[in-house]
Amino acid sequence: MNMLTKLEGEMAVRLARKAIEECLNNKKKIKPDNLTPVFREKRGVFVTLNKMSEKKELRGCIGRPYPVMPLGEAIIASASNAALEDPRFDPVRIEELNDIVIEVTVLTVPKLIKAKPKDIPEKIVIGRDGLIVATDMCQVLLLPQVATEHGFDSVEFVCQTCMKAGLMPDSWLTGAKVYSFEGQIFEELQPGGEIREKILT
């Protein structure tokens, strides 16, 4: 996957904010105009909204794990969905936007971790990999930054992904499929302010 440049990362985050503003203010969906060619490539992407209070609080996060639509369109749709349709939260109100920082994570294509179940954690690199756990009944995703923000090791990370799916924590040992992917993350430092690429450690 071609990485986004710093300028393209800034474009991605500004596009997400503009999509939310138009959606909340005018009930309109914007078009992905005046963007570089990478935004026409099909990519997976997630948009995360964090409320700035004493510490960052998650306010919404929705995306497309697989490259099913052009990146520009996927950012617009995911941003609007994160603001209005994350079932864990009430819809974002327009007056809240001045307190929300936006993060855009562009995903590589998820790949099945091919290993004996007990060896799966050895294939996961914290700070690089995000995870998808899938069964016949469900599929859920945790972004790479979740593990670093919560201090998970690779075993805890895969267990937490299972639990998010409503599965037993050790379902990865008993038949659930585990996929990994990488993410390139761009974030606002202040609401509507400077944007930087977020490097996980």
In the CATH scheme, what is the homologous superfamily, with its name and number, of domain 6-108+183-198?
Hypothetical protein ph0010; domain 1 (3.30.700.20)
Specify which residues 69 forms β-bridges with: none
Specify which residues 60 forms β-bridges with: 49
For 106-127, what is each residue's pLDDT tens digit? 999 999 999 999 999 999 999 9
- Domain regions of the chain by residue span: 6-108+183-198, 111-181
- Give SS3 for 190: coil
pLDDT value for 53: 80
Listing DSSP states for 60-97 in one string gives: EEEEESS--SBHHHHHHHHHHHHHHT-TTSPPPPGGGG
Q: How far apart are CA 201 and CA 189, in angstroms?
A: 18
CB atoms < 10 A from the CB of 122, how many? Answer: 12
Q: How far apart are CA 136 and CA 148, in angstroms?
A: 29
Which residue would you say has higher pLDDT here, 56 or 178? 178
Length of the chain (residues) = 201
Q: Under CATH, which architecture does the 111-181 domain have?
A: 2-Layer Sandwich (3.30)
Q: What is the mean pLDDT of residues 154-181?
A: 96
Is pLDDT above 80 for 196? yes
Look at the pTM and tell me if it is higher than 0.85: yes
CA angle 167, 176, 43 (to 5 degrees): 100
Specify which residues 182 forms β-bridges with: 129
Q: What is the mean pLDDT of residues 53-65?
A: 91
